[in-house]
Structure 1
């Protein structure tokens, strides 16, 4: 097992396991801010893109696993405190575009990417799982898209979740803040495998090893063909909607209420 980190990395831990048996290497990317439940700050998004680009070009990596540090969370989503720092419309739009570029990088990577969900996958964490090719969940995993509670919507999840879990489950999770346990996630297609928590990484590694043993050009081509219906133009509509929502009084109230650990008082403006 070897490790690699880009010079500026602050939130990702990257380890590569090369079995040396003719199969390609498997890289494990760990979101590594467990004290914040692996919340995604602004530095996370370019770090993940850069890491995936490096792995796709290193000539030996054939599969990727993304997971979270600790046993409580895959990722609890975007770092809400960092949203409060977005003070003008240009910064809000650029932030949304940065997130979308990263989700696109996961979808467009020629490498098969497995989400090993080890706890809470909320907001951006749930969206990242949706961007991955396969989701392996621990029995303790919980999925949710609670952005409406802070006056926002899951910009990527609102585009991808309907194709994965259906429009009505997407609406229930968005409008009602419905949290989905691992068994329900398996039933509705949000997860493809559910295993005991202690078996999560062995199961993810075994699956990644199977992917890594396949012909890499065939895997890359197959992934591209499966995703051929993905419409990148939707990202512009989502970014515009989120930029508008970020500027509302309700979003400011939702973020302030979250940080103040109180119930928000929304007024529809």
Structure 2
């Protein structure tokens, strides 16, 4: 049994609750629901994600969360790059970076276990969102990458968290070259914990979430917190400042314009 709630504002985040344990508890599914744009995440997505998690954490019944993308082509192709051009001043650029960071932190620090069910492309912010989750289950068609350098940027959360997940050198390779990795490679390097046929992805995620839901919630929250104690939180301001600076460069403006215009960028290092 499931129920859904979608806000009246322009939202591409759909929330469903599925009953488990004979209806006593629920597993929540958060679906990035804009398949026509490969589930790109616009500026409204980030506060909506935080609000959804807060509501689930306090409803008294939800014991696990699954994040996935609508359709079969993408978990999320990342941030809505075209909208970056609307960030016209330093204050807006900094506020946007902080908003994204707060949302990744909300996933990473939630007392609820969060499973990423990755179907298709997980690029840029989509890959970073998977990094923020506790467990990643991927379809055999999943593809991961952090291609922000192609538009004059870097993955602000990814460069902080990926080194502890996949190592410094893999992080640099993905960040420097925009190289994509398939699901099998992603599992080998530690980004993914389980790969299944695409048709089995959501059933696998639901079975995993159902098992988790039956465990003691305080023990899971405490265990998650202890595992995360080794993760340095102090570098976020540094990353936000660096990304804000990059957003103001001529190269970033060129990269975004080239992306929107569907042409190759010409970067000049300024």
Task: Bin the TM-score by the shorter chain.
Answer: over 0.9
Query: What is the match of residue 261 of structure 1?
Result: 262
Query: What is the match of residue 82 of structure 1?
Result: 83
Q: Does the 8 Å CA contact 1:6/1:51 hold for their aligned counterparts?
A: no
Distance in 1, matches of 2:254 and 2:53, equals: 36
Partner of 1:205, secondary structure, is helix
Query: What is the match of residue 165 of structure 2?
Result: 164
Query: What is the match of residue 208 of structure 2?
Result: 207
Q: Does the 8 Å CA contact 1:29/1:67 hold for their aligned counterparts?
A: yes
Distance in 1, matches of 2:105 and 2:20, equals: 29
Report the number of matched residues: 269
Question: 1:133 Cα deviation (Å)?
Answer: 0.2
Pairs within 5 Å for 1:1-269 = 1-6=2-7, 8=9, 10-21=11-22, 24-269=25-270
**What's the CA shift string for 1:53-99, capped at 9, x where partnerless?**
00000000000000000100000000001101000000000000000
Q: TM-score with structure 2 length normalisation?
A: 0.98
**What's the CA shift string for 1:158-206, capped at 9, x where partnerless?**
0000000000000000001110100000100000000000000000000
Q: Does the 8 Å CA contact 1:23/1:212 hold for their aligned counterparts?
A: no
- 4+ residue runs of structure 1 moved beyond 3 angstroms? 5-9
Quote the RMSD (CA, aligned, Å).
Answer: 1.0
Distance in 1, matches of 2:262 and 2:6, equals: 35
Partner of 1:152, secondary structure, is coil
Distance in 2, matches of 1:40 and 1:232, equals: 24
Question: 1:106 Cα deviation (Å)?
Answer: 0.2
Q: TM-score with structure 1 length normalisation?
A: 0.98
Partner of 2:67, secondary structure, is strand
Partner of 2:42, secondary structure, is coil
**What's the CA shift string for 1:126-169, capped at 9, x where partnerless?**
00000000000000000000000100000000000000000000
